[in-house]
Structure 1
Amino acid sequence: MFVIKVIFFDTETTGLNCFDCKIIELAMLTVENGEIIDEYDEFVDIGVKLNPKITDLTGITDDDLMDKGLYEDIIAEDLKERLTPGTLMIAHNCQFDLHFIYQLLKRHYPTEAYDIVSKVDWIDTLTILKDRKDYPHKLIDAVHYYELEEVKFHRAIDDTKALYKVTLAMKDKRNDILLYKNIFGYNPKWPIRRKEKFEFITYKQQPYHNLGEAVPEDKILPRL
């Protein structure tokens, strides 16, 4: 499928605000020339107790983080080692995960973090899915749309494996994935605030579509 290094990734976090919340699980599948060469899945010991709602959602417990988790500086080092220039990073709702990764790196590599994330490329499968099917657009909706086997959602490694299969299905259905490189769509009803934008990402308005079928080739997001 790919002739470059691709990392499919997902995070589980303590909440939605990347400026106040932290990653508690990070998963990455590294693919080269269509083969998975590395599977990474680590809990992060953040040193504080989890909100019970997060445990209910993810199944991750305080004991998981204390007994199995790595300290955040080790996670930051692992990320820095893998996010080499030219790597293609793929996530579902990539803006969310990118922000959490950036904030984590920034805490440990304050002068290097922006360089690290700006020298790799990013693809958001949520943006692609919105050009492919009607609402809803969660990862589980993509799994159903492409008639794939379900996984245990809201665990980073399982979501990452589902993401990999969804991306393969997207490519098989319509080979335009790379046209979405470093392009994130957003609903114009909820504009992205200046402090949330990355200079290396192009943000495109992506209003709700009543598609029925995929958006025609000359109407896909990168050509708006």
Structure 2
Amino acid sequence: MESACIKVIFFDTETSGLDCRWDNIIELAMITVVDGEIIDSYDEFINIGKALPPNITDITGITNNMLKEQGIDEKRIACDLKKRLTPETIMVAHNCQFDLLFVYFLLKRHFPLEADEIVKNVGWLDTVSVLKDRKDFPHKLIDAVDYYGIEKVNFHRAIDDTKALYYVALAMKNERDDLKEYINVFGYNPKYGVDFRFPFIEYKPQPYHNRGKMLPKEKILPRI
């Protein structure tokens, strides 16, 4: 998945809610890999200037005081993302559509004339789509960690999820080296469809399977 000219960023967000248009990223974590080596680790809280719903604190462990005392301004996060999201970069997330939406709307707030071009020029890889072609339901990150025997982590904190994701992706690559084919190809549950479509992403219906084994390479999502 890596080469001398390609930068791979594994990333995860924690958010104040589920609506990317009205809610905010409250924690962003990124691990940057070049030539198979981790060259940068990034983890920041964001002071969004408003109180978190109690259920978000219950899920993530992130409190209002943490955001006030440790959080940085959202504009700085937008600048950090803009600096990192350069062409020849591959962004990897588990359920990437969700994280991409929040990243896009954050960039749109601070770089309204550039946001579309920034996200279009980057490759996006969704490890959920890969996992659905390889393992039976369920397909959360915690399930992938179990499937591949990754050491347990503190889920629902972005940096720990990102570290787990990195090791899951390595295990996937060793299992079958076809991750490049999934770049900018997202599977979705045909029961629910896709509410917001990016023009540079190819969306394909991907129902759940219970096969007990990986799909053969000729039948993986990018090839159907």
TM-score under structure 1 normalisation? 0.98
Q: Which residue of 1 aligns with 2:53?
A: 51
Matched AA of 2:213: E
> Equivalent pairs: percent with the same residue?
64
Match of 1:16 among 18, 21, 37: 18
Name the SS of the counterpart of 2:21 in structure 1: coil
Give distance in 1, aligned partners of 2:87 and 2:2: 16
Name the SS of the counterpart of 1:45 in structure 2: coil
Give distance in 2, aligned partners of 1:126 and 1:112: 28
Name the SS of the counterpart of 1:111 in structure 2: coil
Give distance in 2, aligned partners of 1:204 and 1:33: 30
Q: How does 1:60-79 map to 2 (within 5 A)?
A: 60-79=62-81
Matched AA of 1:63: N
How far did 1:217 drift?
Answer: 1.2
How far did 1:86 drift?
Answer: 1.6
- Number of aligned residue pairs: 222
Post-superposition CA distance 1:107-157 (Å, at most 9, x none): 000000010000000000000000011100000000000011110000000
Give distance in 2, aligned partners of 1:39 and 1:126: 22
Give distance in 1, aligned partners of 2:2 and 2:83: 20
Q: How does 1:36-47 map to 2 (within 5 A)?
A: 36-47=38-49
Q: How does 1:13-162 map to 2 (within 5 A)?
A: 13-162=15-164
How far did 1:211 drift?
Answer: 1.8
Give distance in 2, aligned partners of 1:19 and 1:2: 33
Give the root-mean-square deviation of aligned CA atoms: 0.7
Post-superposition CA distance 1:87-108 (Å, at most 9, x none): 0000000000000000000000
Name the SS of the counterpart of 2:150 in structure 1: coil
Name the SS of the counterpart of 1:41 in structure 2: strand
Matched, 1:214 2:217: no
Give distance in 2, aligned partners of 1:211 and 1:130: 11
TM-score under structure 2 normalisation? 0.98
